[in-house]
Amino acid sequence: MAKSKLEYIWLDGYKPTQSLRSKTKIENNFSGKLEDCDMWCFDGSSTEQAPGGSSDCLLKPVFICPDPARKSAYLVMCEVLNSDGSAHESNGRATIEDDDNDFWFGFEQEYFLWDPETNKPLGFPSNGYPAPQGPYYCSVGAKNAFGRDIVEEHLDICLEAGLNVEGINAEVAAGQWEFQIFAKGAKEAGDQIWVARYLLERLGEKYGVAINWHCKPLGELDWNGSGMHANFSNTALRTCGEKGTYDAICSAFAPVVKEHIEVYGADNHLRLTGKHETQSIHQFSYGVSDRGASIRIPIATVEKGWKGWLEDRRPNSAADPYKVASRIIKTVKTAKY
């Protein structure tokens, strides 16, 4: 009898930033298909999702892929439900209104590889700081690139798992890296980002390196923060062929800055200062090829005759991609074009 290991993964109820949780379920003669993954449960009183007197929360499988780092294993991303089957308040995925997958998302996930002993990024000396940022972005060589072995192994296992990673690069600060994931459908884009985050966290255990998702882990020092830029499109953006449609959709974001910032990650005021390729958290702007704007219109979109996508640069590295996508979709649907 063949036995398979299914790692059920979910998001806990911690605020303001949720964390990943998981546990292993052994199945006999498992088909590898999502429809054959059973509902499961967990103790919500241990994850800030239920009181002790009524602690059962349900795990609804929504995405599955192979787990390359374990034998006969799968990764199963789950939504959290209340015991009556309704969506738990922590369940951002359930708020996405994109049943026809008209919205496509590409997330640029930045993060720091963090040394738990020095409590600094890899590449930072235990006392003081490395040379100022400049040589680290897309760098090569032991003087400037730190933790490449972890990043390369993470890329390999993500690709082996079938995740649609479209690239990786070293980022502006020492010890800072990025991977990009794209999916045709907001829910699957979120699923894949969370599974990729899970794989990176677990891989860090092997190397004794933590993953720091905070948007500004170096405080107010002159180092870039970490974002999760959200590239998005719908049929209108992909096919309209006119600047007016883009202006109308971008303008729809202006009245709801507060609503977006609320789900774009904790402590974003530390990152969205108007410096380091950001717009101020208190302002909204958009522009062609403008990395200092809230929303950038990529030059490729213009060159293709106003057929393409937009990039919201405000979501930070610790934001929940489900909630980010949900809010963007809601706003785009209000645009008059």
182 within domain boundaries: yes
Residues 115 and 242 in one domain: yes
Range of the domain at 83: 3-91
What is 120-184 written as a DSSP string? Answer: EETT--SSS--SPSSS-TT--STTT---HHHHHHHHHHHHHHT--EEEEEE-SSTTEEEEEEEES
Contact 210, 117 (CB under 8 A): no
pTM of the model: 0.97
pLDDT, average across residues 258-275? 94
**What's the CA gap between 189 and 229, in Å, rounded?**
13
Please report the pLDDT score of residue 288 as a whole number.
Answer: 96
Helix (H, G, I), strand (E, B) or coil at 109: strand
Same domain, 240 and 153: yes
pLDDT of 222 over the 90 cut: no
Q: Which of 47, 68, 91 is the last residue of a domain?
A: 91
**CATH number of the domain enclosing 297:** 3.30.590.10
Residue ending a domain, choose from 91, 112, 147: 91
* CA 10 – CA 46 distance, rounded (Å): 13
Q: Which amino acid is at 251?
A: S
- Whether the per-residue pLDDT at 299 is higher than 80: the answer is yes
Per-residue confidence band for 337, with pLDDT thresholds at 50, 70 and 90: confident
Residues 130 and 34 in one domain: no
Pair 154, 200: CB distance under 8 Å: yes
Q: Which helix (H) or strand (E) holds 243?
A: helix 243-251
Does an H or E element contain 324, and which? helix 321-332
The beta-strand segments (E) located in the chain are: 3-11, 20-28, 40-43, 56-66, 73-81, 104-115, 120-121, 165-170, 176-183, 210-212, 228-233, 286-288, 295-297, 310-312
Q: Please state the domain count of the chain.
A: 2
Whether residue 1 is predicted with pLDDT greater than 80 in this model: the reply is: no
Q: CATH number, domain at 12?
A: 3.10.20.70
**Residue 97 belongs to a domain:** no
Nearest to 95 by CA among 334, 320, 336: 320
User: Do 18 and 90 meet the contact criterion of CB atoms below 8 Å apart?
Assistant: yes
**Shared domain check, 49 and 110:** no
User: Is the same domain home to 141 and 195?
Assistant: yes
Please report whether residue 301 resides in a domain: yes
At 14-45, the pLDDT tens digits run: 999 999 999 999 999 999 999 999 999 999 99
CA 234 distance to own-chain centroid: 19
CB 112 within 8 A of CB 217: yes
